[in-house]
Amino acid sequence: MSIHTYNSDSIQSLGILGGVRAKPASIGLENHNHTFIEILANAIDEHREGYGNEIIITKWLDRSISVQDYGRSVPMDKNSEGEYAYKKVFDELWSGGKYNNNESDGQYQFSLGTNGVGATGTNYTSDFFECKAINSNGYVYSIRYEKGIQVGELVKKRHHLDYHGTIIHWLPSTEVFRGEQEIETDFIKETLKNQAIVNQGLKFTFINQISNEEEIYYYEKGVIDYIEEVSRGNHFTEIMQLKAETKGKEKNEETPFKFKAEISFVFNREIQYMKYFHNSSLLEHGGTPETYIKQGFTKAIDHLLKDRYTKGEKRVTFEDVRDSLIVISNSYSTISLYTDQTKKKMESKFVQEYMTQFLREKLEVYFVENPLEAQKIAEQILINKRSREKAERTRLDVKRKLQSSVNNITNRIDGFINCKSKDNSQTELYIVEGKSALGSTKQGRNAEFQAIYALRGKILNCLKADYDKIFKNDIIVDLIKLLGCGIEIKSKYNKDLHTFDLDKLRWSKVIITTDADIDGFHIRTLLLTVLYRLVPSLIESGKIYIAESPLYEITQKDQTFFAYTDKEKEAIVKNSKGKVTIQRSKGLGENTAEMMWETTMNPETRKLVQIVKEDVERTQHYFELFLGDDLQGRKQYIEENLHAYIEAGLES
């Protein structure tokens, strides 16, 4: 057994470079993709200062990345103290030219990269890192690092180029990022799109040498153009942009900072969308902007609705507002308000209080100055609110109705006859047409694995009905209970009702059995509509069947044949010797138990039609055509196809 000693000689120092490579998260680099954000941020900051309107990003064949801007170029030469500036930028943490940005004459006042970590951190965590700086004085500077260590000297040459700027080229190290090296193309594209949104007039060109593709991300009007894109023309108000600018400080801080924001929004009936940026960084985790948007809009709209509420009605919530709101907050500050180096969340009590009050006041003015738009907004938000409240009442009612287990309700569901087996891979549920069919199916079934649910009363057309009406229908509620798998809800107001779990289905087959007449086909269609609306996955997974009932009973002496189509009838008659008796089949309730078993319930002789996944789209089309609200489509279908039905009827 080995003994490990721990003494003074056990203490090691990785050094700054080694420490960063061993633990990049210690300086806020959460992964290899993050290096792209850090380098791109510096290029964007140059544009913000008024230098350069295009940034070119290239993904090379070796999976390395380069970012080229047309700014003033990063300083590379010696400063007044005889120190090389490039070493401070690329080889020294917490160094940079943006630390005085909170001063009145400071540069990069609203910059994305401020902490002096990004470039050095990227250098330290890359297999190679190169910088080429083309300045306006006619010189181009080049430097190269490998795994954070400078290779060779700074190269300075004359140039005759007609542009200036900086090119950073690097390849993240697999040693640092646990095998990850290639910055994902989708991540690059998403980042460039987001930056194009909040950097109006800045063009991002992405060249992918691997796929030989080139894409441009550019919004001439910035956020305004992007909201138009998101809304897809579905908004019922004009796109508004509220601009705020202030200066202040946190309660326990001495130094004030500048803050400005643009809140762009529009109302619509279909889309909800919120996005927050701070100093161009997408705030994936929200924070202060999420709070002031929520509070500001809710307070202003609640004030708008004060004379529209009914007596005793509850007040509006942000959920009701959000359902019809597309909003983007794009803010900037002269000091970092991020909660950490990942820049995914910002927090400021001062900003929150100021912006909440600002939004409330500006929105109330907007409503007064635009009464027609205010009326549309009020009406839509009230629709959202009352729909949500109605959905909540439905949810509670449905939860109460469906909470009983099938074992507890077996004896309490009218028309249900259970089977003996509890093996879900073998059991079958027959849904039959009315209590008249219950007797013959009960006597004709195999009671070991075949259960029966006899429908009673009229089935609701579920395609047109809202959920509140659907779940007031006892037939449907009982059917859902018997299935045992829950329901699937697509409505934005009833998401909590989505309890579907295919594994909890109590039956291997759900078999619809109706008379072979017009009324039977109508009931079959309504049943399929129920299943399509509430449990479509049962159709997609092949659990739903239709048991075909014979159209004709043909007897010859002591033999009996059943025909399910006219063609089958003709074939039986043709092959029969002697006199035959043809009788139109009776309804299910008039069949004998032996006939039910032979024609409809015996797995060896019955005819089942499986409703398979491939039928779903076609089924959806015809459900909506025949049972939905498209009156014009239904009329057109009848006009185009009526003659075929008439001809078929005459032939029969």
pLDDT digits (tens, 9 = 90+) for 399-450: 666 665 444 555 578 889 999 999 999 999 999 987 778 888 899 999 999 9
pLDDT at residue 452 is higher than 90: yes
Classify domain 223-388 by CATH number: 3.30.230.10
Give residue 387's pLDDT band: very low, low, confident or very high (50, 70, 90): confident
pLDDT at residue 8 is higher than 50: no
For residue 142, the SS3 value is: strand
User: If you average pLDDT over residues 55-64, what whole number do you get?
Assistant: 97
User: If you average pLDDT over residues 631-646, what whole number do you get?
Assistant: 76
Higher pLDDT, 294 or 440: 294
In the chain, list all ranges with CATH 3.30.565.10. 15-217
pLDDT at residue 284 is higher than 80: yes
Query: DSSP states of 542-564 as a string?
Result: T-EEEEPPPSEEEEETTEEEEES
**pLDDT for res 571:** 83
In the chain, list all ranges with CATH 3.30.230.10. 223-388
**pLDDT for res 564:** 78
Higher pLDDT, 224 or 533: 224
User: If you average pLDDT over residues 147-173, what whole number do you get?
Assistant: 93
**pLDDT for res 383:** 93
User: If you average pLDDT over residues 236-259, what whole number do you get?
Assistant: 93
pLDDT at residue 6 is higher than 60: no
Give residue 100's pLDDT band: very low, low, confident or very high (50, 70, 90): very low
Other C-beta atoms closer than 10 Å to the C-beta of 39 total 24
| Alpha-carbon span 60 to 559, nearest angstrom | 81
Q: Are 57 and 192 in contact (CB under 8 A)?
A: yes
User: If you average pLDDT over residues 47-59, what whole number do you get?
Assistant: 94
**pLDDT for res 97:** 47
| Alpha-carbon span 127 to 147, nearest angstrom | 5
Higher pLDDT, 306 or 116: 306
User: If you average pLDDT over residues 91-95, what whole number do you get?
Assistant: 72
Give residue 5's pLDDT band: very low, low, confident or very high (50, 70, 90): low
Q: Dig out the tokens for 42 from the structure.
A: 């510096």
User: If you average pLDDT over residues 236-249, what whole number do you get?
Assistant: 96
Higher pLDDT, 623 or 456: 456
The rounded mean pLDDT for the chain is 85
Find the range with the poorest average confidence among 261-265, 501-505, 625-629: 625-629
Find the range with the poorest average confidence among 178-192, 226-240, 318-332, 636-650: 636-650
pLDDT at residue 134 is higher than 80: yes
Higher pLDDT, 561 or 203: 203
Classify domain 15-217 by CATH number: 3.30.565.10
pLDDT at residue 351 is higher than 80: yes
User: If you average pLDDT over residues 299-321, what whole number do you get?
Assistant: 95
**pLDDT for res 12:** 41
| Alpha-carbon span 484 to 487, nearest angstrom | 9
| Alpha-carbon span 71 to 164, nearest angstrom | 6
Instruction: Give the pTM.
Output: 0.65
Residues near 433 by Cβ (< 8 Å), separated by ≥ 6?
A: 454, 455, 513, 514, 515, 520, 523, 587, 588
pLDDT at residue 88 is higher than 90: no
In the chain, list all ranges with CATH 3.40.50.670. 392-536+615-643
Higher pLDDT, 335 or 210: 210
Query: DSSP states of 7-25 as a string?
Result: SGGG----HHHHHHHH-GG
**pLDDT for res 572:** 80
**pLDDT for res 241:** 97
Higher pLDDT, 392 or 189: 189
H helix or E strand, kind and range, residue 277 = strand 273-278
Give residue 94's pLDDT band: very low, low, confident or very high (50, 70, 90): low
**pLDDT for res 402:** 65
pLDDT digits (tens, 9 = 90+) for 492-536: 555 555 578 899 999 999 999 988 777 888 888 889 889 988 998
Q: Are 429 and 393 in contact (CB under 8 A)?
A: no
**pLDDT for res 115:** 41
User: If you average pLDDT over residues 600-606, what whole number do you get?
Assistant: 91
H helix or E strand, kind and range, residue 144 = strand 139-146
Q: Are 392 and 471 in contact (CB under 8 A)?
A: no
Give residue 11's pLDDT band: very low, low, confident or very high (50, 70, 90): very low
Give residue 380's pLDDT band: very low, low, confident or very high (50, 70, 90): very high
Highest mean pLDDT among 95-99, 175-179, 258-262 belongs to: 258-262
User: If you average pLDDT over residues 549-562, what whole number do you get?
Assistant: 78
| Alpha-carbon span 260 to 262, nearest angstrom | 7
**pLDDT for res 346:** 92
**pLDDT for res 98:** 47
pLDDT at residue 490 is higher than 80: no
pLDDT at residue 194 is higher than 90: yes
Fold of 392-536+615-643: Rossmann fold (3.40.50)
Strand order in the sheet with 257-267: 240-248, 257-267, 325-333, 273-278, 281-282
Give residue 99's pLDDT band: very low, low, confident or very high (50, 70, 90): very low
**pLDDT for res 374:** 97
